[in-house]
A and B are shown apart, each in its own frame.
Chain A
């Protein structure tokens, strides 16, 4: 079975601090997706990484995929209360099953 392990499970940071969320796969990834979920709402796509060593940024959020394509990190610079929510990494296998990690709950204290 496909598994994505995320760490940490939860994170509480002071506004303005940097933070990193990790996502590790037991198998080589065809593509790694990052989503954000505000509490009680659906998921919003953040970015997709496909190539080993790839790095993408959107506003203050940067995601990287390692060379072996088995681990990704999501880094938030100068966190703001608007960054609060649940961050999930996701991937799909050759059978087109799209599966997710267990999620990281982020709280940003003003």
Chain B
């Protein structure tokens, strides 16, 4: 199995506080992704990275920022958490070669914003 760990796995915070979720990989994959999963919406892409310091927005990027200073770490930051950001967050990594482009997923981070 791909070595992808997310931290924290569970977090409860209050509206207006900053939150950072960490994704760490040991696979040396070039691409890393952050998704949120909500009932009725499936997985929605927040931000992704295609290399160190190279990131881009996904479909639901408002209120989120990311950073990737090392190949192995991809951080997702909520500058000022809101209740609408209560969700389960998944990190994924991949090499995205055209013939073997599967993504590998972390176990998820459950965030509750009160």
Interface residues of A (CB under 8 A from B): 1, 6, 30-31, 33, 40-45, 48, 50, 88, 90, 92, 95-103
Contact = CB atoms under 8 A, between A and B. Distances in A.
Given A30-B98, A98-B103, A42 B33 contact: no
Given A41-B108, A96-B50, A33 B90 contact: no
B contact residues, range: 20 to 34
A6 B48 CA distance: 23
B48 A90 contact: no
B62 interface: no
B107 A41 contact: yes
A92 B48 contact: no
Contacts of B48: 96-98
Contact of A43 (B59, B90, B96): B90
Given A42-B90, A45-B103, A100 B58 contact: no
20 contacts: A33-B102, A41-B108, A42-B90, A44-B105, A45-B103, A50-B98, A50-B99, A90-B103, A92-B96, A92-B101, A96-B48, A97-B48, A98-B31, A98-B33, A98-B94, A100-B44, A101-B42, A102-B40, A102-B42, A103-B43
A103 B42 contact: yes
